[in-house]
Amino acid sequence: MTSKTPELIELLDGYHRFREHGWEPERERWAQLKEGQQPRVMVIACSDSRVDPAQIFDVSPGEIFVVRNVAALVPPFETTPGHHGVSSALEFAVQFLKVKEVLVMGHGMCGGCNAALTQAMRGADFGEGGFVADWISLLDEARDRVAEKFGTDTREAGRAMELEAVKVSLANLRTFPYVREKEDQGALKLRGAFFAISDGVLHVLDEETGEFSPASVSYTHLRAHETDSYLVC
| pLDDT tens track for 64-115 | 999 999 999 999 999 998 899 999 999 999 999 999 999 999 999 999 999 9
Q: Which of 91, 102, 88, 83 is nearest to 39 (CA)?
A: 102
Q: 201-206 and 189-196 as β-strands: parallel, antiparallel, unpaired? A: antiparallel
pLDDT of 158 above 70: yes
> How many angstroms separate the CA atoms of 104 and 190, rounded?
8
**33 φ, ψ (degrees, to nearest 5):** -70, -25
Q: Kindly indicate the confidence band of residue 36, based on its pLDDT and cuts at 50, 70 and 90.
A: very high
**204 φ, ψ (degrees, to nearest 5):** -115, 135
CA dihedral of 164, 119, 86, 44, whole degrees rounded to 10 = -40
Max mean pLDDT range (93-107, 128-142, 203-217): 93-107
> How many angstroms separate the CA atoms of 85 and 75, rounded?
10
* Predicted local distance difference test score (pLDDT) of residue 129: 64
pTM: 0.89
pLDDT of 8 above 90: yes
Q: What is the DSSP string of the chain?
A: -PPPPHHHHHHHHHHHHHIIIIIGGGHHHHHHHTT----SEEEEEE--TT--HHHHTTPPTTSEEEEEEGGG--PPP--SSS--HHHHHHHIIIIIS--SEEEEEEETT-HHHHHHHHTTTTT---SS--HHHHHHGGGHHHHHHHHHHH-SSSHHHHHHHHHHHHHHHHHHHTTSHHHHHHHHHTS-EEEEEEEETTTTEEEEEETTTTEEEEHHHHHHHHHHH-SS-----
* Predicted local distance difference test score (pLDDT) of residue 81: 87
